[in-house]
Structure 1
């Protein structure tokens, strides 16, 4: 019976356990079904929430964030609580201390790039103790009762932002070291003192701040010392005192009678003289001697421009850079920029030159690649410019450096190029001789105890061949004679035609001025009641004054020495026209045609007398004009043609 009872009890409990087990299996499925049917997981924008079932459930007891309880809060409330901790830390004041300068700089932690790195922990907090698995929930609950669970907010800082802040805000108190220099006066070197400086080390300070904030920061205000380092001068006074050896020297020569060019050479040399170049530093000739202005001591002198020699401020300065270049390469300093001239120069051999041009950005630069500073001495004296490079000699005794120029090819000059220049007046003519073109190279030769150790190509140069260049001014009237001469490219013909065109323009201007003055005086005299003879005399005097404002007669007569009634410019009656003839008062200044003098206002005389006088004046003017044109056609110059016109005009007057 007892055994039967046990079998009966067992049969009773077996279905009960089966029901419990089935329930344990069904409940999670039921929960998952409900979760899948919530609006938050229906594929809409709001379906991104991963914990729809428990996101509004209170957080379990025993859960803390950075040691502070968030039990009973919703997931969103816990998120806001954590964000408040982050915001509080972002507002913490970080003081960066420069102990050497006793200076501080403050910044908020947020401005050093503070970020929250584990925001997803809020999901874990909300999920904790609310899992779908009964066993897991039970375990979490027991763990919380016994130990609690603290979630720590993860943070990080941006090193790049920290570095930028230090650079912009913590380097103002940096003190650069004072580099020692030497000066040479009366052959004696003097060492000028140096002093150490200091500066914030940006890289090590960045790392120090980062590590302090990541490992030692409580989230409150904090002070961190910057790494400040002492900066020693590049050369000690002792080193400077030994800079007495000439490492390289070179001299070129120039003409002292070209005063402006000589002055520019002396000025550029003086601007470079006394410069100390420390190890690793680069020296620029352009940076040292510009701007090329009168205020900076320069004068107008000849220089190359577009294959011509033109006047510019600083003309001749390339001889300064060339001389320095040769001294520098003998000191074996590192050349970082050198350009040859477009055309060959006469003060050094091919490939020995170093051209500079501010407008073209052409410079001569070198770096002091030695372990000690070098001192540049520049001297100009009696048409010679010398540069000496002083330093500490470290090269082996008996070692000698020299340079040899080699011409590879010569290209003879040929042809003539004529350039018209509308900015220059007619009569302006310049000629720049053609230059032979060259291809050359420079060899560096190193000898030891009079034996050649090495010989290497040091540089290459190409100098342009240029034709003879004639520049002709064309501002004004370009006569057919001048245009034909330009087309011929013959310098002598161009010079003659330009001179003739210049005199012709001057005569035309004088003639027009004299004609206008004579006409005004003639009309004024008649209006004043004078007879035509008196009016003609007044016109003649006005014409003479206008044609010769300095009072000198063109024909060499003393002032006022021309015959009564004749023109001071031509000697003929009336005022000269634009073509060199001598029309009567009132005549057209361009054609020379006479117009009858007005009868109104004439005192005495009659129309017949006036007409006769006008005819006589017109005849004299025509004779003078014909003689002038004939002389010009015969190839006579302007003065000779005017003399012929004077004689013809006077003869015509005498015949009346």
Structure 2
């Protein structure tokens, strides 16, 4: 998967990479990068789009808030970043709003809907930058804003997304959400070609059919209650310029087609 990034907005906001970052922290005391040279190189980045119309205002707000909380985190060599620890609980008191969330393949209203898009964008940027993925779980179904296999679901206190800095130098995460564009960038002191990230469907899991007898229907009649969906198995592969390859498999289960039939 090769993504052509539209980074005009991102570069306008973050044109000065040495500017102070409000949320910056260092996760190990023995490394304290203080100069712009420490983060002069872009190691990997990714962009996703989100809707900003009135109907999606709550979700757009949550995406922007989560990005602002993630922005500026510095990982010393060997340090880990926990998305949940960094972004914190998704509550009304923390400033998040109600928006649709995905649970068991269906959308339900909840506080913090949209935050998973920030975790997903961080996931893909981290793969391209060569960070080690320590903890990752995909959603129950593929999503529209990322190729199947590359999405990342998070739920505070239950499901986290974590990455580790395997390099001998510190790295910094920049994240910004402006005008429907969310960009996450990983910066460091050493330049290297971003890893080539591929997500390939290797197998389809066919849906089953569940029949429910409905006495209100005429004999032989069939009504599709739920179309269900096929599942897929996806191979995710990140290949660095030096040939180093990281590979894993992501599985999205099938859901049954439900049909009501006459007695």
Q: TM over 0.5: same fold?
A: yes
Residue 465 of structure 1: aligned partner = 254
Report matched runs for 1:348-497 at 5 Å.
348-358=146-156, 361-395=158-192, 399-415=193-209, 434-447=228-241, 454=243, 456-467=245-256, 488=260
SS of aligned partner of 1:190: coil
CA distance in 2 between partners of 1:378 and 1:354 (Å): 16
For structure 2, the residue ranges without an aligned partner over 5 or more in a row are 1-11, 22-27, 213-224
CA distance in 2 between partners of 1:432 and 1:292 (Å): 31
SS of aligned partner of 1:379: strand
* Alignment: residue pair count: 230
Contact 1:405 1:442 in 2 (8 A): yes
SS of aligned partner of 2:243: strand
Contact 2:41 2:191 in 1 (8 A): no
Contact 1:191 1:237 in 2 (8 A): no
CA distance in 1 between partners of 2:261 and 2:171 (Å): 54
In the TM superposition, residue 436 of structure 1 has moved relative to its aligned partner by: 2.6
For the structure 1 residues 291 and 489, does the alpha-carbon distance in structure 2 shift closer, same or farther, using more than 3 Å as the test?
A: farther
Contact 2:201 2:232 in 1 (8 A): yes
For the structure 1 residues 407 and 256, does the alpha-carbon distance in structure 2 shift closer, same or farther, using more than 3 Å as the test?
A: same
Provide, for residues 119-146 of structure 1, a one-character-per-residue CA deviation record: whole Å limited to 9, x for no partner.
xxxxxxxxxxxxxxxxxxxxxxxxxxxx
Contact 1:351 1:459 in 2 (8 A): no
In the TM superposition, residue 488 of structure 1 has moved relative to its aligned partner by: 3.9
Report matched runs for 1:41-60 at 5 Å.
none
For structure 1, the residue ranges without an aligned partner over 5 or more in a row are 1-183, 193-230, 419-430, 448-452, 470-486, 491-656
CA distance in 2 between partners of 1:364 and 1:232 (Å): 23
CA distance in 2 between partners of 1:345 and 1:389 (Å): 23
Contact 2:135 2:162 in 1 (8 A): yes
More helix by share: 1
1:244 is aligned, of 23, 40, 62, to 40
Provide, for residues 73-123 of structure 1, a one-character-per-residue CA deviation record: whole Å limited to 9, x for no partner.
xxxxxxxxxxxxxxxxxxxxxxxxxxxxxxxxxxxxxxxxxxxxxxxxxxx
Residue 19 of structure 2: aligned partner = 190
Deviation >6 Å, runs of 4+: none
For the structure 1 residues 287 and 331, does the alpha-carbon distance in structure 2 shift closer, same or farther, using more than 3 Å as the test?
A: same
Instruction: Note if 1:331 corresponds to 2:93.
Output: no
Once structures 1 and 2 are overlaid, which stretch shifts more, 363-372 or 256-265? 256-265
In the TM superposition, residue 281 of structure 1 has moved relative to its aligned partner by: 1.7
TM-score norm. by structure 2 comes to 0.76
Contact 1:343 1:435 in 2 (8 A): no
Structure number with higher relative contact order (C-alpha < 8 Å, ≥ 6 residues apart): 2
For the structure 1 residues 244 and 455, does the alpha-carbon distance in structure 2 shift closer, same or farther, using more than 3 Å as the test?
A: closer
In the TM superposition, residue 186 of structure 1 has moved relative to its aligned partner by: 5.4
For the structure 1 residues 350 and 306, does the alpha-carbon distance in structure 2 shift closer, same or farther, using more than 3 Å as the test?
A: closer
CA distance in 1 between partners of 2:179 and 2:162 (Å): 27
In the TM superposition, residue 465 of structure 1 has moved relative to its aligned partner by: 1.1
More strand by share: 2
SS of aligned partner of 2:117: helix
SS of aligned partner of 1:327: helix
2:50 is aligned, of 237, 250, 254, to 254
For the structure 1 residues 333 and 446, does the alpha-carbon distance in structure 2 shift closer, same or farther, using more than 3 Å as the test?
A: closer
Once structures 1 and 2 are overlaid, which stretch shifts more, 408-417 or 243-252? 408-417
In the TM superposition, residue 394 of structure 1 has moved relative to its aligned partner by: 4.9
In the TM superposition, residue 248 of structure 1 has moved relative to its aligned partner by: 0.8
SS of aligned partner of 1:404: strand
Residue 220 of structure 2: aligned partner = none
SS of aligned partner of 1:288: helix
Report matched runs for 1:224-623 at 5 Å.
233-238=30-35, 240-257=36-53, 258-358=56-156, 361-395=158-192, 399-415=193-209, 434-447=228-241, 454=243, 456-467=245-256, 488=260
Provide, for residues 466-509 of structure 1, a one-character-per-residue CA deviation record: whole Å limited to 9, x for no partner.
2368xxxxxxxxxxxxxxxxx9489xxxxxxxxxxxxxxxxxxx
For the structure 1 residues 232 and 275, does the alpha-carbon distance in structure 2 shift closer, same or farther, using more than 3 Å as the test?
A: closer
TM-score norm. by structure 1 comes to 0.32
Residue 4 of structure 2: aligned partner = none
Contact 2:204 2:231 in 1 (8 A): yes
CA distance in 2 between partners of 1:242 and 1:409 (Å): 43
